[in-house]
Each structure stands twice: as structure tokens, then as C-alpha cells.
């Protein structure tokens, strides 16, 4: 796990355009799991384009602090990219 916000941002900058799985804390012991593509990174936040067949909205944004505090967990995988290529 990265130790600073700068390291987290640099790590995500290199993965723009890749498929990922997001596990986010939804509150009250609820975990939200979504799939999408990392589309953009900004100085304070990053944007994920979600798969449309599974979600009611197109995009979500999270701050790098969400990853640092483990509120959000991202998983990049070649398996996810292979599934996207088939669609």
C-alpha cells in the first residue's frame, strides 16, 4: 500500500485507461463493489467510468485520501481487461 497521497496519485496516473474493481465502504457495515475503467486523475480526485449495464450512473469520483484511509480499495487486473475486450 502506498504511504503518501503523492505516491497514490502517481500510481494511478500510470493506470489511466485500465479496468478495475472498486470496493467502497457504503456505511453501516455495507460494502459496495463496482467495475469500471479509470478515466482521469486530477490533483485531488480520480474519476472512474462505471460499466453501464450494472450501474444507474456513469461515473464516480474518489479522493486519494479515500485510498489512504482504506475507505476505497482498487484492484487492477488483466482478467478484468480481458473481459472488457470480449464485450
Full domain range(s) for residue 22: 5-86
pLDDT at 3: 81
pLDDT at 79: 59
Q: How far apart are CA 83 and CA 41, in angstroms?
A: 24
Give the CATH number for residue 30. Answer: 2.30.30.100
Number of structural domains found in the chain: 1
pLDDT at 29: 87
Mean pLDDT by 10 residues, the chain (87 residues): 84 93 90 92 94 81 93 81 50
pLDDT at 33: 92
pLDDT at 7: 92
Do the strands 45-50 and 59-63 form a parallel or antiparallel pair, or are they unpaired? antiparallel
Amino acid at each position: 500500500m502506498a504511504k503518501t497521497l503523492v505516491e497514490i496519485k502517481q500510481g494511478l496516473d500510470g493506470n489511466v485507461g485500465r479496468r478495475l474493481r472498486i470496493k467502497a465502504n457504503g456505511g453501516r457495515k455495507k460494502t459496495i463493489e463496482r467495475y469500471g475503467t479509470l478515466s482521469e486523475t486530477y490533483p485531488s480526485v480520480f474519476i472512474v467510468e462505471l460499466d453501464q449495464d450494472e450501474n444507474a450512473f456513469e461515473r464516480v469520483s474518489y479522493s486519494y485520501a479515500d485510498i489512504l484511509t482504506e475507505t476505497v480499495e482498487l484492484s487492477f487486473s488483466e482478467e478484468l481487461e480481458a473481459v472488457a475486450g470480449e464485450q
